[in-house]
Amino acid sequence: MPVELVYETHSISEDNEKGIATGWLPGKLSARGRHLAADLGARRRDDGIAAVFTSDLRRAVETAEIAFAGTSIEIIQDPRLRECDYGELNGCPVEVLAAERAMRVDVPFPGGQSYRDVVAATALFLNDLAATWQGNRVLVIAHSANRWALQVLLGGASLGDVVDAPFTWQEGWEFVIPTDRPIGESLRAPSGLPPFGARHNGST
């Protein structure tokens, strides 16, 4: 049976409000972001979610912890769900990053990753979900590059198109992960990611 995947972006961070592109830096939710994380929990706690998978970057983990505090829903951190590593541009102004984005679909940021690297890491994550969570509905809390990867791998979109598309926030994006065939089998994840699978539940 396929896996139902609901994607939600991490809540608003202090860097978001300051116009900073955080990348692989941890980030921290703002006061407004913490409020919106609680709203996320209110709409997803009773949505049939079997588990929550989140980037291990702090702003995503904090979103999940606030959203599912006091519940028994398991939260699983996975570094394959990290934002693109902007390398030397981690922490740069968003307008600097925006000027680079279209050039970094296949060519890595200096000292970092390309967006294609994020697609590769996401494909490995999705194949693991397909193998172990068949018939379940799961929530992913991550970053813009991960949403683009999902649109490419599960929606058939062009990476170049989604990277350049304007962003309109919404209350989640839904995808179906097939379990009868590999996803992105020709892709290879980048090296250097730390071990994945850190687990806890929303009650801690």
pLDDT tens per residue, range 180-191:
889 985 455 454
Window from 16-20, 113-117, 181-185 with minimum mean pLDDT: 181-185
200 pLDDT more than 70:
no
14 pLDDT more than 90:
yes
What average pLDDT score do residues 103-114 get? 97
196 pLDDT more than 60:
no
What average pLDDT score do residues 57-86 get? 97
* 185 part of the active site: no
How far is 181 from 123, CA to CA, in rounded Å? 12
86 labeled part of a ligand binding site: yes
164 labeled part of a ligand binding site: no
| Gyration radius of the chain's alpha carbons | 16
Residue tagged active-site, from 10, 62, 65, 143: 10
22 labeled part of a ligand binding site: yes
Q: In sequence order, which ranges of 11-143 are alpha helices (DSSP H)?
A: 14-18, 31-44, 58-67, 94-101, 115-132
Domain 3-201: which CATH number of 1.10.10.60, 3.30.70.260, 3.40.50.1240, 1.10.8.60: 3.40.50.1240
What average pLDDT score do residues 151-176 get? 92
Pull the structure tokens for residue 43.
Answer: 């709409």
77 pLDDT more than 70:
yes
Percent of the chain whose pLDDT exceeds 70: 90
139 pLDDT more than 80:
yes
Domain boundaries, the chain: 3-201
84 labeled part of a ligand binding site: yes
199 pLDDT more than 70:
no
23 labeled part of a ligand binding site: yes
* 200 part of the active site: no
Residue tagged active-site, from 8, 62, 65, 83: 83
Contacts of 18 (CB under 8 A, 6+ apart): none
Q: What is the mean pLDDT of the chain?
A: 91
pLDDT value of residue 171: 87
What average pLDDT score do residues 22-46 get? 97
74 pLDDT more than 60:
yes
Q: Which of 158, 130, 127, 165 is nearest to 144 (CA)?
A: 165
